[in-house]
Amino acid sequence: PVYQVWMVILAIIGLIALSENLIPSKISSLAFPSVLNAYFPPTFVVIAFAAIIIGAMIPAAIQALSAANLITRNIYLEYFNRRANERRQVLIGRIFVFVMIVASLIFVLTPAASGLIFYLLTMSYAWLLQTLPAIILSMYWHKLDKYSVGAGWLVGVAFTTYGLFTVNFSSSLLPWLSYMYVGIAGLIFNLIVLFIVHAFVRLLKVRYTSGIMPAEFTDFDEAFAGVKEWRKDDFRAGKE
């Protein structure tokens, strides 16, 4: 919630910058610094700029580390060198951290790309939304198979990409679909294909193994019940 409030504040500051023509060269990323520079004393501006730099470096470093770790563990270690030792993985991770930081700097320092950050954020949410059935449904629907999930995800991502292509990747709302958010539209097609493919899988009696079996939940419940009983006995002993 705090993050959303801060986004609203940034949007208001951006409107102020637009109304007062404070954005140099129409670079949207300079809206907030321009407002600070125009309306606040120099001492406060210096402190605020330093805070902006520090505030940008921390999440950038975390995201660079996360992306490098993702590439190292899930791509390099999985498909290129499964026998890589820990030292090798650390080296590859450091290389990709440097690559991610350089790529981010190139993107940020390119004036043409500065206005696309918001659209890229909404696009990433639209694609990420297509993983919702695989994560949420599989937790409660134990007979869900990998074929239906994979087919639904593929169709959802394909439709989302096509929808973004029709608007030249300049918006996440589809004018030809009553301005529906492209992620929601893709999720609808995702679920439709998921249920259809799952029906065919059940009809054709395709053999598959579920990721989480109900027996595993039963074992967990029994173990957790034992922990709860132990806590009750411990509480009674302490009370006595």
Top mean pLDDT of 154-163, 170-179, 213-222 is at 154-163
Instruction: Tell me the C-alpha distance between 159 and 166, whole Å.
Output: 10
Instruction: Report the alpha-carbon distance of residue 128 to residue 157 in Å, rounded.
Output: 9
Asked whether the predicted pLDDT for residue 18 surpasses 50, the reply is yes
Q: How far apart are CA 11 and CA 189, in angstroms?
A: 32
Share of the chain above pLDDT 90, in %: 16
Question: What's the pLDDT at 237?
Answer: 53
Secondary element (H or E) of residue 98: helix 86-109
pTM score above 0.75: no
Answer with the residue of higher pLDDT: 220 or 204: 204
Q: Residue 155's pLDDT is what?
A: 94
Mean pLDDT for all residues in the chain? 79
What is the per-residue pLDDT for 114? Answer: 58
Give phi and psi for 173, each to the nearest 5.
-105, 140
Pairing mode, strands 173-174 and 180-181: antiparallel
> Percent helix, strand, coil in the chain (nearest 5)?
80, 0, 15
Q: Which residues pair with 181 in a beta bridge?
A: 173
| pLDDT-based confidence at residue 208 (cuts at 50, 70, 90) | low
* Cα Rg of the chain (Å, integer): 25
DSSP single-letter state for residue 82: T
Q: Is 178 left (phi over 0), alpha (psi -120 to 50) or beta?
A: left
CA dist 56 and 64 (Å) reads: 12
- Give yes or no for residue 71 having a pLDDT over 60: yes
* Token digits of residue 116: 């696309």
Distance between CA 10 and CA 55 in Å, rounded?
14
Confidence of residue 169 (pLDDT cuts 50, 70, 90): confident
pLDDT mean over 192-199: 92
Across the range 134-138, mean pLDDT stands at 84
Q: Where are the domains of the chain?
A: 116-209
- HSE on the CB side for 188, CA within 13 Å? 6
Per-residue pLDDT of 212-227, as tens digits, reads: 454 544 444 455 555 5
**Secondary structure class of 174 (helix, strand, coil):** strand
Biggest alpha carbon–alpha carbon distance for the chain: 75
List alpha helices for 141-204, DSSP H. Answer: 146-166, 182-204
Beta strands in the chain (DSSP E): 173-174, 180-181
pLDDT, mean of residues 32-44? 86
Confidence label for 11 from pLDDT (cuts 50, 70 and 90) = confident
Task: Write down the pLDDT at residue 233.
Answer: 53
pLDDT at 209: 57
Structure tokens at 106: 């190139």
Which band of pLDDT confidence, cut at 50, 70 and 90, is reported for residue 9?
Answer: confident
In this predicted model, what pLDDT tens digit does every residue of 92-107 receive, in sequence order?
A: 999 999 998 888 787 7
